[in-house]
A and B are shown apart, each in its own frame.
Chain A
Amino acid sequence: MRTVLVVDDSVTMRRMIMAALRDVREVSFDQAGSGLEAIERITVAPVDLVILDLNMPDVQGLEVLRFVRGHERFHSLPVVILTTRGDSESREAALRDGATLYLTKPFTPSSFAPEIRRLLDVA
């Protein structure tokens, strides 16, 4: 069983993301509603993949990403940015800071789920 951490400050958006992935087998979800909570989750219990929003209170997505990439332990942890920000600066900044994949909202389950399957290497 793989654990996917879904980080978004909108409860509805988190539920949408999990619903879009419900057909991915052998995956369980953990959630965080803020950047700080995300960091807490990642450090306290192991996760296999992070789906990360950029715009969040206090500690933004990019700071979470930098925190993750700044530590040896999480070096190979896939981090998928899922954001409403479609501009190229945001994309480049995220990829520069070590994002594994940069996806934008709105998304469709049929385009989103295969990417996550591929990264998790599951059916």
Chain B
Amino acid sequence: MSAPGGGEFFEQFIEDYFAECEEHLSTARRVLLELERLPAADKASALARQELSRSLHTLKGLSGMVGVTSAEHVAHVLEDSLRGIERAGTRFDAGLVDTLLSGVDLLERCVAARRAGGAAPDATTDASAVLASLEELAHSNRSPAGGAVGPAATGGERRAVTYRFAFTPSPELMQRGINVETIRGRLKELGTLLDGRARVVAGGVAFDFSVAVPAGREPDPGWRDDGLEWSAIAPVAPVAPADDSSEGPRRAAPAAASVVRVELGRLDAVMRLVGDLVSTRARLDDALRHSNGRASRSAWDVVEEANALMERQLRQLREGVMRIRLVQVGEVFERLRFAVRDAARESGKQVSVELEGQGTEIDKLVVDRILEPLLHLVRNAVSHGIETAEERLAKGKPAEGRLLLRAAPSGDRILVHVEDDGAGIDVAEVETQARARGLLAPGEALDAASLLDVLCAPGFSTHGGVDRTSGRGVGMDAVRAAVRALAGELTLQTVPGRGTSFAIELPLTLMIIDAVIVEVGRQYYAVPQLVLREILQIETSSVVTFESNEVIHYRGGVLPLLSLSPLFGLPDDRRPSRYVLVIGTAAEPMGILVDRLHGLREIVVQPVVDPLVSVAGIAGATQLGDGKVSLILDSAAVLRLAAMQRQRGEPHVPRRGTAALPQSS
């Protein structure tokens, strides 16, 4: 029996694989950070260790199925090292957690390499060093170091009460969507799930769960209607309080079984269709208004009513599609927590992170692209904002600095704050530097807005060298550029001695397309790459004026040319055009004259589907990284406008091939 490689067959699941890897990698990181805090004897620590090893096990299994053997191997070594740690009873101190985290990083790189289609990183010395230290752990028999059981959990312990729950499933309950997993989800929210087992009862099965419920919480009495019974047993040993950061997003997340993963591109396609539908309806609306009175009153009412209903439904459809794209910002916050920990360790500072509003939802695309700027801001806050413990104590502040990450919705935008209680920005120092570099005119004072401008000037730094923690080659200029590229806005507040707060305001949802940026009469336009047939470089002399229209020779015929400025009623102060963008169909192409090309870029489009705010020929606006605003050309509308001009006969645009032209040499 010749077996085709499983890896090839399962290649079709590669996207699911990447998505599930992401989940497990972030679980592994979160759990490792938890383990560093939890006393080893705590039940929560044992549960966390199980969760970690399960995630690694799943990563190993899935990697094997899709043939990513490097990831399979690293996951296997990590699993082994966990078993070694368990056997030796080693404490999860910072050093051990670091080693394991570097293993998780390596694993992520293996997956990322497969995703990028490149070679696995195992050949690098770095990778073999990581693997060697993990393998050492796997074979360690080191007995627990002195005081190995670890410190008491860091404050805030609460007494908990153990409850025993019994759940009896039935087909009726299942039909209502209540099964053992929903029940388990509820119990996990309520407290720490200690164990769960099945027991056979007359005519079926029942499940028993023990849950340590923090004081002050109680099961919902309504659960008794859902096949659940319970009783409190006794108070148990203190359980570390549920950590807000990790519980928050998990609590709000829907049961995993009811989640479907969709490629973003497919949603974009649906979104575009919705946009098209909205403009079609606008045309229908127009047509209806013109035909008013040609039908009987009663027949007309029905049409009007249906039309109004359709408008409402379209709006709902658009909102519905947008909602599908939303994810919780909590996952990004988790990664930031991780970066703060690293930065604090490197700079020898004590920093606690507080998260607020992790449940706030934002477009998946925005979330992915806001991570880098946020990373930079939190690293900055730790390395430059927050003072050392000694400095803080001398100022009468608590030794531990505080970093607050906060997200909140604000209309159809969301606000993300990165707030520290550090020294604040030294405005006088920034001013001196800015003057020295000529960024500030003499006599000009530094206010809140210009302070940010100076900080975001390319390469500006009040610190001598680029240090590893906050530098990494990008400065505040890169942060602002990234925020602007997302159609967002960055603002800053700083109080000397009290701290600094950066606020990023972002659109809730957007789309990204590839577009060629062109310049016509000092105005920038973005032309979606998809609609471009060709770009021609022309000599001014090759443009021929024919019946007061400009044309050029093109593929054995003529190509009518269109100037954008008059089309949009802008002053036609254009310089000699050097390029022609060919759009339209092969049978009926149309050229747009442009002065300069500024290359292909990814641009962010905030879908404007409300016909009331749209201008014919313009699909929207986008801000380029350097802050310039560019209008996005709606090529279909431009072609329609040109056709309308042609119908009105002013100025007449000849159709290709319909005119005989004197041959120019």
Residues of A within 8 A of B (CB): 9-13, 15-16, 19-20, 31, 33-34, 36-37, 39-40, 43-45, 55-59, 63, 67, 70-71, 84, 105-111, 114
Whether B184 and A105, one on each chain, are in contact in the complex, defined by CB atoms closer than 8 angstroms, is no
Q: Smallest distance from the beta carbon of A51 to chain B beta carbons, Å?
A: 14
A37 to B6, CA, bound (A): 28
Digitize B184-199: 1 where CB-to-A-CB distance is under 8 Å, 0 elsewhere. 1000000001011110
Select the residue from B5, B7, B58, B256 with max chain A CB neighbours within 10 A.
B58
A40 to B256, CA, bound (A): 17
The residue that B62 contacts in the complex, of A13, A63, A114, with Cβ under 8 A, is A13
Q: In B158-209, which residues have CB < 8 Å from any A CB?
A: 169-171, 174, 179-181, 184, 193, 195-198, 200, 204-205, 207
Whether A58 and B64, one on each chain, are in contact in the complex, defined by CB atoms closer than 8 angstroms, is no
Q: Smallest distance from the beta carbon of A12 to chain B beta carbons, Å?
A: 4
Nearest-neighbor residue (CB-CB) of B201 within chain A: A43
Select the residue from B10, B207, B257 with max chain A CB neighbours within 10 A.
B10
Whether A19 and B205, one on each chain, are in contact in the complex, defined by CB atoms closer than 8 angstroms, is no
B346 interface residue (CB < 8 Å to A): no
Q: Say what secondary structure dominates the interface of chain B.
A: helix
A15 to B17, CA, bound (A): 11
Give 8 closest A-B pairs by Cβ, nearest first: A106-B64, A108-B6, A84-B61, A43-B205, A12-B16, A110-B3, A39-B198, A108-B3
Whether A45 and B171, one on each chain, are in contact in the complex, defined by CB atoms closer than 8 angstroms, is yes
B4 interface residue (CB < 8 Å to A): yes
Please classify how large the interface on chain B is, using the bins under 10, 10 to 19, 20 to 34, 35 or more.
35 or more
Whether B58 and A9, one on each chain, are in contact in the complex, defined by CB atoms closer than 8 angstroms, is yes
Digitize B479-492: 1 where CB-to-A-CB distance is under 8 Å, 0 elsewhere. 00000000000000
Q: Smallest distance from the beta carbon of A72 to chain B beta carbons, Å?
A: 10
Q: In B1-22, which residues have CB < 8 Å from any A CB?
A: 1-7, 9-10, 12-13, 16-17, 19-20
- Chain B positions within 8 Å of A108 at CB level: 3-6, 9
- Chain B positions within 8 Å of A71 at CB level: 200
Which of B49-57, B234-242, B334-342 makes up part of the contact surface?
Answer: B49-57
Whether A37 and B181, one on each chain, are in contact in the complex, defined by CB atoms closer than 8 angstroms, is yes
20 contacts across the A-B interface (CB closer than 8 A)? A11-B16, A11-B20, A19-B10, A20-B9, A37-B181, A39-B207, A40-B179, A40-B180, A40-B207, A43-B169, A45-B171, A55-B57, A59-B198, A63-B197, A84-B57, A106-B6, A106-B64, A106-B67, A109-B6, A110-B4
Q: Smallest distance from the beta carbon of A45 to chain B beta carbons, Å?
A: 7
Q: Smallest distance from the beta carbon of B47 to chain A beta carbons, Å?
A: 9
Whether A55 and B180, one on each chain, are in contact in the complex, defined by CB atoms closer than 8 angstroms, is no
B544 interface residue (CB < 8 Å to A): no
Whether B179 and A10, one on each chain, are in contact in the complex, defined by CB atoms closer than 8 angstroms, is no
B402 interface residue (CB < 8 Å to A): no
Whether B169 and A44, one on each chain, are in contact in the complex, defined by CB atoms closer than 8 angstroms, is yes
The residue that A109 contacts in the complex, of B9, B170, B207, with Cβ under 8 A, is B9
Whether A40 and B205, one on each chain, are in contact in the complex, defined by CB atoms closer than 8 angstroms, is yes
- Chain A positions within 8 Å of B184 at CB level: 34, 36, 58
Whether B181 and A10, one on each chain, are in contact in the complex, defined by CB atoms closer than 8 angstroms, is no
Digitize B79-117: 1 where CB-to-A-CB distance is under 8 Å, 0 elsewhere. 000000000000000000000000000000000000000
Whether B198 and A36, one on each chain, are in contact in the complex, defined by CB atoms closer than 8 angstroms, is yes
- Chain A positions within 8 Å of B170 at CB level: 44
Q: With A13-B62, A13-B65, A106-B6 in contact, is A37–B180 under 8 Å at CB?
A: yes
Select the residue from A9, A67, A71, A108 with max chain B CB neighbours within 10 A.
A108
A114 to B184, CA, bound (A): 36
Whether B174 and A44, one on each chain, are in contact in the complex, defined by CB atoms closer than 8 angstroms, is yes
A105 to B8, CA, bound (A): 15
Identify 16 new A-B residue pairs, CB closer than 8 A, beyond the known A43-B205, A108-B6. A9-B58, A11-B16, A11-B257, A12-B17, A13-B58, A37-B180, A37-B181, A40-B169, A40-B180, A40-B207, A56-B54, A57-B50, A106-B64, A109-B6, A110-B2, A114-B1
Q: Smallest distance from the beta carbon of A85 to chain B beta carbons, Å?
A: 8
Nearest-neighbor residue (CB-CB) of B6 within chain A: A108
Q: With A36-B207, A55-B54 in contact, is A11–B256 under 8 Å at CB?
A: yes
Q: Smallest distance from the beta carbon of B614 to chain A beta carbons, Å?
A: 41
Nearest-neighbor residue (CB-CB) of B203 within chain A: A43
Whether B65 and A106, one on each chain, are in contact in the complex, defined by CB atoms closer than 8 angstroms, is yes
